[in-house]
Amino acid sequence: MKAGDKRIHARTQVAATAIGLGCAQMGNLYRVTSYAESAGAFQASWDAGVRYFDTAPFYGFTRSERRLGTMLTDLPRDSYTVSTKVGRVMTPDPTVGAMEDGYAEPLPFRPVFDYSHNGIMRSFEASQQRLGLLAPDILFVHDIGRFTHGELHEHYWNQLTEGGGFRALTRLREQGAIKAFGLGVNEFEIIEDALKVADLDICMLAGRYTLLEQHSLGFMDECARRGVGIVAAGVFNSGILAGSNKFNYGDAPADIVARVEALRAACAEEGVTLQAAALQFPLAHAATLTVVSGARNAEQITANIGWFEETIPASFWNRLKERGLIADGAPVPV
């Protein structure tokens, strides 16, 4: 399997490479990332055949979209696929601090949640200008659900449903301004809810279908049956599958640490890199269109692509099954 292998979503004909570049780090996620570092990550991914790029207005408070748009501007439009997100309207605000929502030195635009018809349209039109694209390929509704909004979930859900947010997305698709839309979230249950009221095409699911966690397997199976594509993000589960002690954006609990150690032991016995297994596992499911990997610089994306293309023997996956380290019925790479 190569990073640049092309995969086509049957219903919309949206094309994506087997691995995509996630561009949150272009927005100074956790620390300042120079433009040169971001450009290096982009160029290294492009040279490896990657042609799918995911961004969002929220990443760096518009910085990521601006940077990615500059990198894409001289390339043929039909040579790449871009997804961005809606749900936050970026509003000028001189009080934005040096570190906000995990982004270092964000630009002076405050994210304001707005999933209404007007909010979706305002966000989309601003993204068009920052990216320099009339028609981004995919729009994801960013961070809708209780994971983000808690007790305010119903308020924002009503904006999306009764307030016309889904209607705006449907109209953009009908007009050809986008090819596909869906949700970009950290919880599969909200996608299940959305599928009851909207005709979703492709969704981004972060951290919920990974080598470490397959509680969403039934949901993934249903997506495959319905032709809903899944962009698998967060496949390192906040870093614990890549060497850190973080899981779900916090310190990993003891049971998770123990499970990772069991996975690591199986990797050692089979001569497999844990990061390689984590990157390759989600793509085996029929619903998965692509795996998105974030990278801060050329070295990081080159390492990720190397892991993604690493040969993993079938005996490794069999070993995980025998030890109950992956869910019954979860498909594995062949």
Give the model's pLDDT for residue 211: 98
Is residue 261 in a domain? no
Pairing of strands 180-185, 103-104: unpaired
Do 309 and 2 contact (CB within 8 A), yes or no?
A: yes
Is residue 320 in a domain? no
Residue with tokens 């969704």: 203
Is residue 332 in a domain? no
Give the model's pLDDT for residue 177: 98
Is residue 165 in a domain? yes
Give the model's pLDDT for residue 249: 83
Do 197 and 162 contact (CB within 8 A), yes or no?
A: no
Cα 242–chain centre separation? 17
- The encoded tokens of residue 14 equal 């949206």
Is residue 322 in a domain? no
Instruction: Compute the distance between CA of residue 187 and CA of residue 189 in angstroms, rounded to an integer.
Output: 6
> Tens digits of per-residue pLDDT, 67-112?
999 999 999 999 999 999 999 999 999 999 999 999 999 999 999 9
Is residue 258 in a domain? no
Give the model's pLDDT for residue 248: 85
Instruction: Compute the distance between CA of residue 261 and CA of residue 256 in angstroms, rounded to an integer.
Output: 9
pLDDT-flagged residues of the chain (< 70): none
- The encoded tokens of residue 164 equal 């016309």
Structural domain that includes position 116: 6-253+276-311
Query: At a CB cut-off of 8 Å and minimum separation 6, what does 217 contact?
Result: 209, 327, 329, 330
Domains: count for the chain: 1
Give the model's pLDDT for residue 245: 86
Do 50 and 3 contact (CB within 8 A), yes or no?
A: yes
Q: Detail the DSSP E strand segments found in 81-189.
A: 81-86, 88-92, 99-100, 103-104, 109-113, 138-142, 180-185
SS3 content of the chain, % helix, strand, coil (to 5): 45, 20, 40
* CATH number reported for the structural domain that contains residue 101 in this entry: 3.20.20.100
What is the DSSP track for 187-207?
Answer: -HHHHHHHHTTS---EEEEES
- What are the Cα distances from residue 92, in Å, to 47, 68, 106, 109? 36, 21, 12, 4
Do 68 and 55 contact (CB within 8 A), yes or no?
A: yes
Catalytic positions are: 54, 59, 85
pTM of the complete model: 0.97
Give the model's pLDDT for residue 246: 86
Give the model's pLDDT for residue 61: 98
> Residue 160: is it exposed, middle or buried by C-beta count within 10 angstroms (0-12/13-18/19+)?
buried
- What are the Cα distances from residue 272, in Å, to 70, 96, 308? 38, 44, 12
Give the model's pLDDT for residue 206: 97
Instruction: Compute the distance between CA of residue 158 and CA of residue 141 in angstroms, rounded to an integer.
Output: 14
Give the model's pLDDT for residue 266: 98
Give the model's pLDDT for residue 250: 87
Is residue 245 in a domain? yes
Give the model's pLDDT for residue 311: 97
Is residue 324 in a domain? no
